[in-house]
Structure 1
Amino acid sequence: MIGIIVPAHNEEDFLDDCIKSLVAAASHQELGGEAVEILIMLDDCSDDSLHIAQSHGVGTHVCNHRNVGMTRAVGAQLLLERGARWLAFTDADSVVPYAWLAEQITHQVDAVCGIVEVTDWSEHSEQVRMRYDAVYRPVDDHRHIHGANLGVSAAAYLRAGGFRALPAHEDVHLVRDLQRIGANIVWTARNGVITSARKNCRCREGFGDYLNSLATPSLLS
């Protein structure tokens, strides 16, 4: 079985599109009919996220961690206990392409790190977009790490110790742990995940905060 884990904290504005894209990806013909379980990790949600997820018939788990690392880790453990051989991760404000899962599985490696794409820059100035494009490299063999576009085999995930209970950068630490154990990682620019560029982001020090920092050139390293 292939497991998909999606942390969500008050994501009613984006979750419907996210789940629709995951359901489509789970039906890709190249998966050969293998079972795919989608698990929405509803972390301290006070909006309509739970009902949206339930309307699609996907798995849900209500928690109150307010810690994205812990939320991803618990979701991964739940699906590992159900027999998942591969774990795919994205975010609730993101939309995956149809071939997302099929491409990850086809590589036959320990982990797949993909890129993200922003299609709606309406909340940011043109300068922010230009600064982002100047440093982001959407090419094969990139070294970008995104929890919104990440896949890992169950075996490699367990050997690396899984996600740490971190409020941010949990994805970066997992990939570093995978590298530490000598995991075979593919860095692909195919099947980029479309993600939100909203200013009111849910995870401090995450992708949204990075985009916000680009509005102030003095903060750039």
Structure 2
Amino acid sequence: MIGVIVPAHNEEALIAQCLAALLEAARHHELAGEVVRIVVVLDACNDFTGAIARAYGTQTLTLKARNVGIARAAGAALLLAQGARWLAFTDADSRVAPGWLAAQLALGADAVCGSIAVDDWSAHPLSVREYFRKTYVDADGHRHVHGANLGVSADAYRRAGGFPPLKCSEDVALVDRLIASGARIAWSAAPRVTTSARTAVRAHGGFGDTLAEWAAA
């Protein structure tokens, strides 16, 4: 079984499109019918995120940690207990491509760090978009780490000790742990994810704050 974890904090506006994309990816023919289970980790939600997730037939797990590292780890633990051999992570404000899971698995690595594309730059000055275009490496061999586009085998995840309980950069910390444990990591642009450049960030210190820092500079 393949497990997919989506941490969410008050994501009622975007969770539906995230889950619709994941369900399409779960039906990809290259997965040969393997079961894909999705869990939305509801971290301190007080909106309709959970109701929407359940309407899409996905599992939900409720926390009050307000901590994305804890949320990702809790979702991973749930799916590992259910027998997942591979864990894939994305974010509630992101949309995976139909071949996202198939592309991760086809790389034959212990872990996959994918790149991202931004869906809408309208909330930012042109300078931010241009800086991203000039500096971001959306090609194989990049060294970006995004919680919105990350995959890891169950064995490698366990050997590395999983996500630390960090409120930001938990994805970078996991990859550091994977490297330290000797995991084979594919730095690939093949698994495609489109994400939001929204200014109302959920995890301080993440991608949204990085964009805001660029705009201020």
Give the Cα separation in 2 of the matches to 1:23 and 1:119. 20
Matched, 1:128 2:128: yes
Q: Measure how far apart 1:107 and its partner are.
A: 1.4
**What's the CA shift for 1:119?**
2.0
Q: SS in structure 2 opposite 1:215? A: helix
Aligned length: 217
Q: Specify the SS of the correspondent of 1:120.
A: coil
Residue by residue over 1:95-114, the C-alpha shift from the partner in whole angstroms, topping out at 9 and shown as x without a partner, is: 00000001111112100000
> What TM-score do the two structures reach when normalised by structure 1?
0.97
The AA in structure 1 aligned to 2:110 is: D
**Tell me, which stretches of 5 or more residues in structure 2 are unaligned?**
none
User: 8 Å contact 2:104–2:191 — kept in the other structure?
Assistant: no
Deviations 1:21-77 (A, max 9, x none): 000000001101111000000101111101110111111111111000000001100
Cα distance in 2 for residues equivalent to 1:42 and 1:59: 10
Aligned to 1:89: 89
User: Which residue in the other structure is 1:170 paired with?
Assistant: 170
- Residue 30 in 1 paired to residue 30 in 2? yes
| Contact kept in structure 2, 1:111 and 1:152, CA below 8 Å | yes
**Is 1:55 equivalent to 2:60 in the alignment?**
no
Equivalent-residue separation in structure 2 for 1:105 and 1:72 (angstroms): 20
CA distance in 1, matches of 2:133, 2:199: 17
- Provide runs of 4+ in structure 1 moved above 2 Å: none
How far apart, CA to CA, are the structure 2 residues paired with 1:39 and 1:189?
A: 24
Aligned position for 2:137: 137
Q: Which residue of 2 aligns with 1:183?
A: 183
Cα contact 1:132–1:214 (8 A) shared by 2: no
User: Quick check: 1:159 aligned with 2:159?
Assistant: yes
1:192 Cα offset (Å): 2.2
Q: In structure 1, what residue type is equivalent to 2:70?
A: M
SS of the residue aligned with 2:120?
coil
Residues 149, 191 of structure 2: 8 Å contact kept: no
- d(CA) in 2 for partners of 1:71 and 1:9? 10
Q: TM-score, normalised by structure 2?
A: 0.99
Q: Which residue of 2 aligns with 1:198?
A: 198
**Do 2:42 and 2:60's aligned partners in 1 also have CA atoms closer than 8 Å?**
yes
Q: Is the 8 A contact 1:115 1:146 kept in 2?
A: yes
Q: Helix, strand or coil for the counterpart of 2:215?
A: coil
Aligned match of 1:41: 41
* DSSP-derived class of the 1:145 partner: coil
Consecutive unaligned residues of structure 1, counting only runs of 5 or more, are none
